[in-house]
Structure 1
Amino acid sequence: MALQLASKWSNAENRRREGLRAAHAQDADTLTDLLTTYMRLKSSRKGRTSELTLKAYAESVRQFLAFTGPPESPSRALNQLSAEDFEVWLLHMQEAGLKPNTIKRHLYGARNLMKALVWANVLKADPSAGVSPPSDPTPAHAKKRALTQAQMRDLLALPAELHAEDGVQASRDTLLLALGGTLGLRAAEIVGLDVTDVDLSGAALTVRGKGSKTRVVPLPTGVKTRLQRWLLARQAVNPASPALLVSLSSLNRGGRLSTDGARFIAHAYYRHLGLPPEMWGLHTLRRTAGTHLYRATRDLHVVADLLGHASVTTSAIYAKMDVDVRREAVEAMERLRAGEE
Structure 2
Amino acid sequence: MVDVGGADAGVALRRAVDTYLDHLTVERALAANTLASYRRDLERYVDWLVAAGIAELPAVSARDIAAHVADLRSPDGDAPPLSASSAARAASAVRGLHRFALLEGLAPTDPSREVKPPSLPKRLPKALDVDQISRLLAVPSQSAGPLDLRDAALLEFLYGTGARISEAVGIAVDDLDLDARPGMVVLRGKGGKTRLVPMGSYARASLDAYLVRARPALAANGSGVPNVFLNARGGALSRQSAWTILRKTAQLAGLPVEGPSGVSPHTLRHSFATHLLDGGADIRVVQELLGHASVTTTQVYTLVTVDRLREVYATAHPRAR
TM-score by length of 2: 0.72
C-alpha distance 122-26 of structure 1, shift in aligned 2 (>3 A): closer
**In the alignment, what sits opposite 2:229?**
245
Q: Does 1:87 align with 2:104?
A: no
Give the structure 2 partner of residue 171 of structure 1. Answer: 149
Is the contact made by 2:151 and 2:245 (CA closer than 8 Å) also made in structure 1?
A: yes
Q: Cα deviation per residue 1:133-171 (whole Å; 9 max; x = unaligned)?
A: 3223x4443xx221122222232234449xx98x33333
Q: Structure 1-normalised TM-score?
A: 0.69
Return the offset for 1:241. 0.9
Answer yes or no: is the 8 Å Cα contact 2:141–2:148 preserved in 1.
yes
Please name the residue that 1:65 is paired with: 43
Alignment of 1:1-341 (within 5 A): 23-24=13-14, 31-39=20-28, 55-69=33-47, 77=55, 79=57, 80-95=59-74, 96=80, 98-136=82-120, 138-141=121-124, 144-160=125-141, 167-202=145-180, 203-232=183-212, 233-238=214-219, 240-248=224-232, 253-270=233-250, 273-278=255-260, 279-310=262-293, 312-322=295-305, 323-328=307-312
Judging changes above 3 Å, is the alpha-carbon distance between structure 1 residues 134 and 312 closer, same or farther for their aligned structure 2 residues? Answer: closer
Report the secondary structure of 1:172's partner residue: helix
Cα pair distance change 1:301/1:38, threshold 3 Å: closer
Query: Which structure has more helix as a fraction of its residues?
Result: 1
| In structure 2, C-alpha distance between the alignment counterparts of 1:156 and 1:83, rounded to whole Å | 52
Partners of 1:89 and 1:147 lie apart in 2 by 40
* Residues in 1 aligned to 2:122 and 2:172: alpha-carbon distance in whole angstroms: 36
The answer for the alignment partner of 1:14 in structure 2 is none
CA 1:76/1:191 → structure 2, altered by over 3 Å: closer, same or farther? farther
Write the letter of the residue equivalent to 1:87.
A
- Return closer, same or farther for 1:312/1:220 CA change in 2, 3 Å cut-off: same
Contact 2:273–2:286, Cα closer than 8 Å, also in 1: yes
What is the Cα deviation at residue 177 of structure 1? Answer: 2.7
* Shift of residue 34, structure 1, vs aligned partner: 1.8
Q: Secondary structure at the match of 1:228?
A: helix
Secondary structure in 2 matching 1:133: coil
Structure 2: 5+ residue runs without aligned partners?
1-9, 75-79
Query: SS state of the match for residue 237, structure 1?
Result: helix
Distance 1:172 1:208 in 2: 20
Deviations 1:286-325 (A, max 9, x none): 1111011112235334423432345555433323203333
What is the alpha-carbon distance in structure 2 between the residues aligned to residue 35 and residue 290 of structure 1?
A: 33
* 2-structure distance, mates of 1:99, 1:177: 32
2-structure distance, mates of 1:26, 1:158: 54
Which residue identity lines up with residue 34 of structure 1 in the other structure?
A: H
- Percent sequence identity over aligned pairs: 30
Task: Confirm or deny: 8 A CA contact 2:167 2:188 kept in the other structure.
Answer: yes
Partner residue of 1:16?
Answer: none
Gap runs ≥5 in structure 1: 1-19, 41-50
Question: Structure 2 vs 1, CA of residues 120 and 316 (structure 1 numbering), >3 Å: closer, same or farther?
Answer: closer
Structure 1 residues 73 and 109 mapped into 2: Cα distance closer, same or farther (>3 Å)? closer
CA RMSD of aligned residues (A): 3.9
Distance 1:268 1:87, change over 3 A: farther
Q: Secondary structure at the match of 2:112?
A: coil
Aligned residues: 294
Q: Is the 8 A contact 1:61 1:113 kept in 2?
A: no
Deviation at 1:206, TM superposition (A): 1.7
